[in-house]
Chain A
Amino acid sequence: MARIRWGRVAGWAVLGLVMLVTLFPFYWMLRTSFSNTRALAAGAADLLPVDFTLGAYRRVLGLSSTAEAVAEGGSSGTVNFWLYLRNSIVVSTLTTAGQVFFGALAAYAFARLRWPGRNAVFTLFVTALMVPPIFTTLPNFVLIKELGLLNTFLGIVLPHLLMTPFAVFFLRQFFLGINASVEEAARIDGAGHVRTFFRIVLPMSRGPIATLAILTYITSWNDYFWPLLVGKAENVRVLTVALGVFRSQTPQGSPDWAGLMAATLFAALPIMVLFALLGRRVIDSIGYTGVK
């Protein structure tokens, strides 16, 4: 048995190493964000914040004066963090609400209703899963431009507001598993399909709907390419795009590392909080999305 025990020790050692490699960068983000950018050069390898200061956070939140920012090695450019945070929340919330709701409607029709052409239409929807996004992104950009929706929230959310093939596919799988007797009981009570869907099927599927909503919210929150193309203007710029802009504004020679790390930490925080609250659901969903 000694051999197996040693195996376990070695296994835990490797697993511990992986977890360290996973977590250390997050710690380093935190440590840097509390440092003074000017002092970082002297204490580049210090494990604790160098010359501890909240200056980076004050800069990012727009609370410090230009003179203060420059004194700590920050750029004199202003970061409108609260505006970008609002924009990210608007975009992710609209996308999630629309996509989950309309996705659920369609999924119900594909799973529980009988109509000619059902399977053909569903196959068409799912085929779109295979098309790489770049193929549709350029024409979609042209369309959004023609509609005059560049630099509007609607332009950013519209392509994913009404459907993604994944959302329809994901929910259909769950609706297929609902017992037919539930619908029969509803029918006997005189409920039509619309009523059955809203009063019975939706409440029954709270779990999978919540899972899809979380996944959609995270994806939407992290999206960069599309909002970069259609939402460059300040009033609709989301956090990921703002971070890219912030990065390109900092001088190549000596970027404001503390400011950058404070900003990235802020941008990552909502997702981490969401994950801390709903972690199990997110983790469980991966097995489902992958293996099914």
Chain B
Amino acid sequence: MPRTPKPPFRRRLGDLPVAVLFVLPAAAGFALFYLWPAIRGAYLSLTRYNVLTPPRFIGLENYEKLFGDRLFWNALKVTAEYVVLNIVSQTVISMLLAVLLYRLTRSMLVRGIVLLPYLVANVIVALLWFWMLDFQLGVVNNVIEWLGFDRVAFFGSDLAIPTIAGINTWRHMGYTALLIFAGLQMIPPSVYEAAAIDGASEWRTFWRVTLPLLRPVMALVMVLSVIGSFQVFDTIAVTTGGGPINATRVIYFYIYDLAFNRFNFGYAAALSSVLFVLLAGIAYLQLRLSRAGESDLRGA
């Protein structure tokens, strides 16, 4: 049956009228709460602004101030320390856990158990561990004493950051393990059969076969967890509150403090912009270095 020819104008528009209707709510949400605040945030970072009176344009002053701000450098240092500790422990433990899960069991129950901490709010996890690690009454310190060691001040200035990194490792390890687990399931069994025929040991197979084939998944996991851990806030807000002194005043907490306790919105916005650039840079570098788009499977 011959189709009635459409005018070219309509063809170019395609389904536009319906599409506009469908996209409109999301586009409104995007414009109002993503696009506009992004532009406004960049502008506010060039102003002095306390929310109550209109922002006053001061050019790059906020950014210049950053260089001499000891609290900023401290926040950067503390955050970096946290990120490194958290990423190393989380990646190693999750990798081990993922391989164990993959080799030992398909059980949904086991997978559900390791995922459980991830589903509970940060605030709850933080309070729970704050109690378990309490100096006087915490069960962990009681076990430590029972074993014959001295009680540990987990939230003291020296250990607070490693402790918080440990708590968040506990919360995230199951989730990260399941991400890696999903990657493991995508490796074809034939690769392992070939390795077994060659007489490769379990250990050697892991380093020579599994790990290289996991690279795209690991790249994604690393980017997600580095970006995620730079934004640690909840755990610190309900445990140490940035203390003792400034030992746990991470960047996110410092920004919050500047904006909502000191009403220095312009400066806080400048810090957010720096964090944004920093994170974008790290993500770009990570993806480049790990050649994330490529998989060794194609060559195999």
Residues of chain A at the chain B interface (Cβ within 8 Å): 7-8, 11-12, 14-15, 18-19, 21-23, 25-26, 28-29, 32, 40-41, 44-45, 102-103, 105-106, 108-110, 113-116, 118, 121, 124-125, 128, 130-143, 145, 158-163, 165, 168, 192-194, 197, 218, 221-222, 224-225, 228-229, 239-240, 243-244, 247, 257, 260-261, 264, 267-268, 271-272, 275, 279-280, 282-283, 286-288, 290-291
Contacts and interface: CB of A to CB of B under 8 A. Distances in A.
Given A131-B276, A218-B119, A11 B103 contact: yes
A102 B32 CA distance: 15
Interface string B209-240: 00000000100110010010011011001100
Name, among B29, B115, B227, the residue most crowded by chain A CB atoms within 10 Å (CB to CB). B29
B82 interface: no
Interface string B36-73: 11101100100000010000000000000000000000
Contact of A264 (B113, B124, B260): B124
9 contacts: A22-B116, A103-B26, A128-B30, A132-B276, A138-B259, A143-B33, A143-B36, A267-B123, A271-B119
Contacts of B115: 275, 282-283, 286
B183 to A, nearest CB: 6
Contacts, number: 286
Contacts of A143: 32-33, 36-37, 40
A116 B19 CA distance: 10
Nearest to A128: B34
Nearest to A279: B112
Contacts of B139: 28, 44-45
A238 to B, nearest CB: 10
A45 B146 CA distance: 10
A63 B97 CA distance: 44
Nearest to B258: A138
B127 interface: yes
Given A115-B16, A283-B115, A11 B100 contact: yes
B131 interface: yes
B96 A136 contact: no
Nearest to A221: B121
B280 interface: yes
A19 B186 CA distance: 25
B231 A134 contact: yes
Contacts of A243: 123-124, 127, 238
Interface in B149-203: 170, 173-175, 178-179, 181-183, 185-186, 202
Contacts of A141: 259
Nearest to B121: A222
Contacts of B220: 290-291
A32 B269 contact: no
B290 interface: no
A233 to B, nearest CB: 15
Interface of B: 12-16, 18-23, 25-30, 32-38, 40-41, 44, 51, 93, 96-97, 100-101, 103-105, 108, 110-117, 119-124, 127-132, 134, 136-139, 142-143, 146, 170, 173-175, 178-179, 181-183, 185-186, 202, 217, 220-221, 224, 227, 230-231, 233-234, 237-238, 252, 255-256, 259-260, 265, 268-269, 272-273, 275-276, 279-280, 283
A152 to B, nearest CB: 16
A164 to B, nearest CB: 8
Contacts of A41: 136-137
A128 B280 CA distance: 12
Given A114-B15, A224-B123, A286-B179, A21 B221 contact: no
B29 A222 contact: no
Contact of B137 (A23, A136, A165, A257): A257
B7 to A, nearest CB: 15
Given A44-B139, A125-B26, 13 more contacts: A18-B100, A22-B170, A22-B174, A110-B23, A115-B16, A142-B51, A162-B26, A163-B25, A222-B122, A264-B128, A282-B115, A291-B179, A291-B220
B211 to A, nearest CB: 16
Contacts of B26: 102-103, 105-106, 125, 162-163, 168
Given A45-B143, A287-B178, A290-B220, A139 B119 contact: no
